[in-house]
Structure 1
């Protein structure tokens, strides 16, 4: 029987792993994990001389929602794993496209976990939901307190003199390059951000770059077992991650809870306790506006990819339509926090 395209991919991976491990590797099954915006992700079940093992394959797509460097992400996983942070164990990075047509990485599976925060919406899940939230922001605070030099990430990540200015100009450049039509809300936000740049932070940290509900795995008891998707990681201001984690775009299924998990001020207090830092509210407001602009830049970029036929993935079309509208409304509210109208509450 001729294998399907998915099975053929699994068999190719088995050949690669056999070459790396020096022992027979058979394919027991392969499934694609939906939802990946920057990498194709697969769960691959292996048979090693009668012993079962599961690995996660992350392969470069033909086009991506976010333009990222695979080696950068993989080395960040290695640094986080060495530091004892809850991340999947990185096994292999392969940049030779001859194996699977495109570069890829392989990691150990974190079993019996979920990333679906929406499943914790019911009253019967309140205790688990609270624990997930407590661990989420305590873990982020712990990351903020770590010295990026001691983590080893400064060997492959630049250390910015002014993190806020660097991040703003990068994402403003993405909008300028990818916008298919004028973006007046983004333009207003960029003007405001340039006029209100906070001073450089006294404390630099390894910034995850996409720390939000949906990008970590939690066990049935609510303990977080793995933080995923480090492709946008960089050295910067730790307030950047905190602001992103609290953006109103991520509150499902309850918009009154940060990330669908905890009241906002409780999340901030947990972060402060774990990091040993106090949130500078003026600087934090800047990072909140920036977080919404960064999100808008990502959705604008996805629109450009879909419109030009670089990808026909539905996630790019949805991001370019629904998410752009939602993020624009959030930005309007961010820029005018005292206005009586809340545009972000009137969404598609």
Structure 2
């Protein structure tokens, strides 16, 4: 069964959806260029249910032919979406994980989820026009509202404790993250990295113990990672590959472009202090500057993990440009970031 073949995909979808729909006809199958760690394909279909026809789109996710960048298994990504279906968090609905070799497209595991209509790109975020200030602040608040939904959802009732590491207590959120990172590295580490060794040591010594709660955390979030409707609402939280249970500050350390610094005529309109206070008022959860800085340093370790995992795949014979790029440039830059976080200037080897 070939994923790029409309006829094959039609046969596959009719087989899997036969108990829910009367008929499925596939109109188009195409690969999405965005994204690094895995392949994403869009399937446009005409679906007949209870005698009524409608147009629907689906997403097919699978690893690259040479493996994946992020060391999180594809099955776990599917399970995250499956559990989110029982929450208030807006997200695509997981439909099935293809585990039958007879139906796996091109002989590779894949899963299917619904596609949520919308756009990932907010052009006004890069604008310097004061006329866009209100739109920027509104979008930032919308993103914070959705992070609040993620962080306050009952993750245990949804079964996230069955697929992720649960910190021993709120005091252990940071060290649980470091433990997971070391566990990952132990499975594919190729060579020593002084920057990683030093970072792990320093981050253990300075690990915060004052997390206010253990929350469901999304990981990579913000601009480019969510699906937005035309009226400025997030209709789907997407990209959960770095999810975990832990300190909500972990997510704030990975926010992309959604906390714009806006100062007009010497008056602050928006920025990190305002955003964190808005979030605290919505959730009762405090994100301290110290914990935010700590998890930003941790992100350098996370980057190294998936970059080094890519190097592991390349060493095993992978030739995908995505894996090669992560194995080289991203791995190098992650070590520069870690060196800087540890107080070293990597270019000269001197302390800062």
Query: Does TM-score exceed 0.5, indicating one fold?
Result: yes
Q: How many residue pairs end up in the alignment? A: 327
Contact 1:35 1:315 in 2 (8 A): no
Q: Deviations over 1:107-126 (max 9, x none)?
A: 22111x22235674234655
Does structure 1 residue 282 correspond to structure 2 residue 282?
no
Structure 2 equivalent of residue 346 of structure 1: none
C-alpha spacing 1:93/1:278, structure 2 compared with 1 (3 Å)? same
SS class of match (1:136): helix
Q: Any residues of structure 2 matched to 1:164-313 within 5 Å, and which?
A: 164-175=174-185, 177-199=187-209, 201-245=211-255, 250=256, 263-310=271-318, 312-313=319-320
Residue of structure 1 equivalent to 2:166: 159
What is the CA deviation profile of residues 192-216 of structure 1, one whole-angstrom value per residue up to 9, with x for unaligned ones?
Answer: 0122222263411112233343221
Alignment check: 8 A CA contact 1:73 1:232 kept: no
Whether contact under 8 Å (2:87, 2:153) holds in the other structure is: no
Higher-Rg structure is 2
Contact 1:145 1:276 in 2 (8 A): no
Q: Which structure 1 residue ranges, 5 or more long, are not aligned?
A: 344-348
C-alpha RMSD of the superposition = 3.2
Unaligned runs of 5+ in 2: 263-269, 348-352
In 1: Cα distance, 2:283 partner to 2:231 partner: 24
TM (normalized to structure 2)? 0.79
Distance 1:123 1:39, change over 3 A: same
Distance in structure 1 (CA, Å) of the matches to 2:278 and 2:328: 34
Alignment of 1:67-86 (within 5 A): 67-86=71-90
- Residue in structure 1 matched with residue 340 of structure 2 by the alignment: 333
Question: Distance between the aligned counterparts of 2:145 and 2:339, measured in 1?
Answer: 30
Normalized per residue, which structure has more strand?
2
User: Alignment partner of 1:220: what SS?
Assistant: coil
CA distance in 1, matches of 2:271, 2:332: 25
Say if 1:187 and 1:9 are closer, same or farther in 2 by CA, change over 3 A.
farther
Partner secondary structure for residue 239 of structure 2: coil
- SS of the equivalent of 1:116 reads coil
Change (3 A) 1:190 1:220: same
Contact 2:124 / 2:136 at 8 angstroms: preserved in 1? no
Distance, in Å, in 2 between the alignment partners of 1:206 and 1:238 is: 8
Distance of 1:212 and 1:325 partners within structure 2: 24
Alpha carbons 1:139, 1:274 under 8 Å: kept: no
Where has structure 1 moved over 6 Å in runs of 4 or more?
254-257
Task: Calculate the TM-score normalised by the size of structure 1.
Answer: 0.80
Aligned-residue offset at 1:45: 0.9
